[in-house]
């Protein structure tokens, strides 16, 4: 007997002389004795069960689960961004964490420090990205102790790329790795879903990024100062928050340079939205 997926009906037309056999399937029960074949379901029952089977196997509507999250899993929704300048990097993110249309956390911190001057902006599944940054923080700490010197941003990005790429079927994580080191100065690496790693002149990510590509392309230029880069990060994220339902709350920024890290936030009623 051949099973016809996904209806799970049994095709026995090619086997007219089936001996005594009983097959039990999730949606259809067939009893065969000698050369007479009796199907316990009428055609109407078959049609109803076929429709039920199809509905059971049908994927959920995109509106029900736009990020394909597991039950109870939180999404960082997100707009994240990083721009290097001469002497460091400015990184920024919104603060909304959601479960479908429900906002689970209004003031989440999506910019995570993994070493003295290396930070990671997280987007995708909150659980996945938190676990990944914990691993990176552990590995970089071990590396710094073993080598006796601070790790580079490229090393942190490479470790994150390996973790995401080698587990891409089980993770939903898109991150931006940025910071300052003595080799490259300020640098930014973008690692989207799937684990590709690219060094970028600037990086944006998350669901809100699609709304601000034109704005960032128009305003960005090489050789920006720290103040110019910080102003562009704040304005771009504010515009994304105004358009993207999964981005919102406050804007968090961190400026990373050889002198250290300066973290700030802009409250939701003082966002720099506008021309």
The pLDDT tens digits of the residues spanning 48-84 come to 444 444 444 444 454 556 556 666 656 657 899 999 9
- pLDDT value, residue 275: 72
Q: Exposed, middle or buried, 75 (CB in 10 Å: 0-12/13-18/19+)?
A: buried
Q: Is the peptide bond before 6 cis (omega within 30 degrees of 0)?
A: yes
CA angle 252, 165, 64 (to 5 degrees): 65
Nearby residues of 125 by Cβ (< 8 Å), 6 or more positions away: 67, 69, 73, 74, 75, 76, 171, 172, 173
User: What mean pLDDT is reported for the chain?
Assistant: 82
Least confident among 27-31, 168-172, 189-193: 27-31
Is the model's pLDDT at 175 over the cut of 70?
yes
Higher pLDDT, 194 or 45: 194
> Looking at 78, 79, 112, 152, which residue is catalytic?
78
pLDDT per position as a tens digit, 220-232? 999 999 999 999 9
Q: Which pLDDT value is given to residue 70?
A: 64
Angle in degrees, CA 146, 115, 96, rounded to 5: 150
- pLDDT tens track for 196-227: 999 999 999 999 999 999 999 999 999 999 99
Measured over the CA atoms of residue 133, residue 138, residue 139 and residue 144, the dihedral's sign is positive
78 given a catalytic annotation: yes
Q: What is the C-alpha to C-alpha distance for residues 270 and 26, in angstroms, rounded to an integer? A: 58
Write down the pTM of the prediction. 0.74
pLDDT at 246 over 50: yes
pLDDT digits (tens, 9 = 90+) for 84-118: 999 999 999 999 998 878 899 999 999 999 999 99
What pLDDT, on a 0 to 100 scale, did the predictor assign at position 69? 62
- As a whole number of angstroms, the distance between CA 272 and CA 6 comes to 53
Quickly count: other Cβ atoms within 10 Å of residue 218's Cβ: 8
The pLDDT of residue 7 is above 60: no
């Amino acid at each position: 007997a051949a099973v016809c997926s996904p209806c799970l009906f049994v095709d026995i037309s090619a086997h007219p002389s089936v001996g005594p056999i009983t097959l039990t399937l999730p949606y259809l029960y067939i009893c065969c004795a000698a050369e007479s074949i009796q199907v316990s379901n009428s055609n109407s029952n078959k049609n109803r069960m076929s429709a039920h089977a199809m509905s059971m196997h049908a994927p959920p509507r995109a509106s029900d689960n736009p990020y394909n999250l597991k039950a109870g899993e939180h999404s960082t929704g997100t707009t994240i961004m990083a721009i290097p300048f001469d002497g460091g990097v400015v990184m920024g993110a919104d603060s909304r964490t959601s479960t479908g249309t429900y906002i689970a956390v209004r003031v989440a911190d999506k910019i995570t420090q993994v070493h003295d001057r290396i930070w990671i902006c997280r987007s995708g599944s909150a659980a996945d990205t938190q676990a990944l940054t914990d691993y990176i923080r552990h590995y970089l700490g071990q590396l710094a102790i073993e080598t006796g010197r601070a790790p580079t941003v490229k090393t942190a990005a490479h470790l994150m790329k390996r973790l995401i790429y080698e587990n891409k079927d089980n993770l939903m994580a898109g991150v931006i790795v940025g910071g300052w080191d003595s080799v490259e100065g300020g640098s930014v690496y973008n690692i989207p879903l799937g684990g590709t790693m690219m060094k970028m002149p600037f990086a944006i990510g998350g669901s809100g990024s699609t709304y601000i590509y034109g704005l960032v392309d128009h305003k960005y230029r090489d050789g920006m100062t720290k103040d110019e880069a910080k102003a562009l990060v704040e304005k771009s994220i504010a515009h994304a928050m105004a358009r993207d339902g999964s981005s919102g709350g406050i804007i968090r920024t961190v400026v990373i340079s050889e002198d250290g890290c300066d973290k700030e936030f802009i409250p939701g009623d003082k966002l720099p939205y506008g021309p």
